[in-house]
Structure 1
Amino acid sequence: MTTRKCKICNEPYEKQRMGQVVCSPKCAMKYVKQQKIANQKKAQAAQRKEERAKTKAMKARLESVGDLLKAAQKEFNRYIRLRDKNKPCISCSRPLQQGGGLRGHLFDAGHFRSIGSASHLRFDEHNVHGQCVYCNRYQSGNHVNYRQGLIERIGLAEVERLESDNTPRKWDKEELRDLIQQYKEKCKELD
């Protein structure tokens, strides 16, 4: 006979039959109640998990391309800010200020070719660079100086490629979800 500790009262007992985990019928009744409660909690947890999965799937179905574009643009711009945080403004070469501001930054992810004129280039990393708020918002992107700074950073051939690229692009939901995930991972690498 082997000696075991009771699962209810922790008293030692001698195991008399296979599967015995308690010392007495009194402890056996308590153990059965505990098991019943534990099984109910497991079932409830599984049900909550299933409901959350259904809700998540429903939200994913209800997301519009516009909602996903906003989320993807937010992650992309965050990546550009992290990538260019120690570089000067692409247009005026002033140092980009860190922290502060309404959204935790004082510089923008400025597009060389704007989203309005070339939406297909909105996620092209060569088309977007760190730009001070003054140049981006108050000088309409300071385009002439942006082009000069861009030539210095990526070369004339790449700038001409951006300027001549007029390929229409339509984003679908899966592509946008992939972009969101991709730029979240890139941001983690830079943090």
Structure 2
Amino acid sequence: MKTVEKLGIYGGTFSPIHNGHIRAAEKFLSDIELDRLLIMPAAIPPHKAADGVSGEDRLEMARIAFEGADPRLEVCDFEVRREGRSYTINTLEHFTSPDRRIYMLVGTDMFLTLPEWRRAEDIFRLADIVLMRRERLDETGRLIAEKKLGYERDFGARVHIIDEEPLEMSSTELREKLRRGEPVDKLIPDGVARYIREKKLYTEG
């Protein structure tokens, strides 16, 4: 019997990649028991404004962050190398294969707006959706439960939920600390911090 590869895709701006991203990737890999996990920095994310840091720099920071990590973790340059905007459906179609099952990791904001994404029906058809959930008992937690049921009913979606501890800091707050020259110890890997300093990324002007 032919084996089916369980392929995870974890996309995002990763600007900069930080310890929260690394923990999320490791938990995604272990909880879903993936054969392979692609860490995929986006070129020009449709949902986020550019912050002046190139795709090449974000790609290199991701490579540094996962250096020496589990060999099933790969930093993938597919979206950075593509021309034009990064749309999830294009990436899923590229990696779809009869002998592969794709799992796509999303955060809460992305999960709640999935039906608004380009060709949402095809996204649900081509990939299992894995939500990295931080909210459990509050209003957002109840909304997540409602959306999950709706996606399964309306789209035949396959939704998995992984619980995660809240991050100490968002990427936006981290960029602000870097711009102000404040220490970011314990928030990003040492190698990434060194790369940011050497390349003078996230500085004023």
Asked which structure has the greater CA Rg, the reply is: 1
TM over 0.5: no
TM-score w.r.t. the length of structure 1 is 0.25
Greater percentage in strand: 2
Between 1 and 2, higher relative CO (CA 8 Å, sep ≥ 6) is seen in 2
